[in-house]
Amino acid sequence: MRIEIEKDKCTGCHLCEMICSLFHLGAVNPSRSAIRIIKDDLDTGIHTPTVCRQCKKMKCIEKEDVDETVEKTKFVWERQRAERCPFDGLMVFGDSAYRCDLCGGDPQCVSVCTNRAIWVKE
């Protein structure tokens, strides 16, 4: 399961970021969500949602002595893992990285994306 993106449909509303942080942290803070909108708001107006691609081969934890299945359920990661991701799919804030755990199977962000820029691919 992963989240697919059609960037041309993204309206830049940030609801995905808000609900992601609220669901995981109990507070709204777009800087601490696992999905983010990279906005080109003053030029093309094209907004690009960016989120973990749920790679089969996880470069982010490569060479780490950890249980992949357990790590996948964690929302807050250490910052250096984000630096290993070739797709910039983890959001960094302070010393932490935030990784999409698919909300345990029911991604909240998808439920509020009214223009269907993001959806779930099983």
Partner 1 sequence: MMPFRTKFAKIDLTERKVKIEEMPEEIVTKYLGGRGMNMYLLAKRFHPDIDPLGPENPLVFGIGYLTGTLSFGSRMNISAISPETGYLGDANMGGDFGAELAYTGLSHLVIEGKSEEPVYLWIENNQIEIRDAQPLMGLHTVQTQKAIRQELGDKKIQVACIGLAGENQVRFAGVRTGLKSTAARTGLGAVMGSKNLKAVAVRGTQDLKVNDPQGVLSYYRELLKGLMERKWVQALGRFGTPLMIAAGNTMGLLGVCNHQWTSVGDAGSALVAENLDRYSTGMVACWSCPVHCRHRFKITDEITGEGPEYASIGSMGWKIGSLNLENILHTVELCNRYGLDTISTGSYIAWAMELYQRGIIDEETVGFPLEWGDKEGIEKIIHMIARRKGFGDILAEASFAEKRLPPKARDFLWEVKNLPMEMTDERMTKSFALGMATASRGACHMRSRPSLDILQLPPSLLEKLYGGEVSSDFTSYRGKAKMIWWHELLYAVCDALGVCRFMTVFSSPHSPQYEEFGQLIYLSSGLKISAEGLKTIGERICTLERRILNLWGLDRRHDTLPSRYFEPIPEGPAKGHKMDPARFNEMLDEYYELHGWDGDGRPAEAGMKKLEIPL
What does the binding site for partner 1 look like in residue numbers (CB under 8 A)? 8-9, 11-15, 18-19, 21-23, 25-32, 39, 41-47, 93, 108, 111-112, 114-115
Q: How far, CA to CA in Å, does 26 sit from each of 12, 38, 75, 76, 111?
A: 22, 23, 13, 14, 17
Q: Nearest approach, Cβ of 88 to partner 1 (angstroms)?
A: 14
| Residues 11 and 75: beta-carbon distance below 8 Å | no
Q: Nearest approach, Cβ of 12 to partner 1 (angstroms)?
A: 5
Residues 6+ apart with CB under 8 A from 64: none
Nearer to partner 1, 56 or 105 (CB): 105
Nearer to partner 1, 31 or 66 (CB): 31
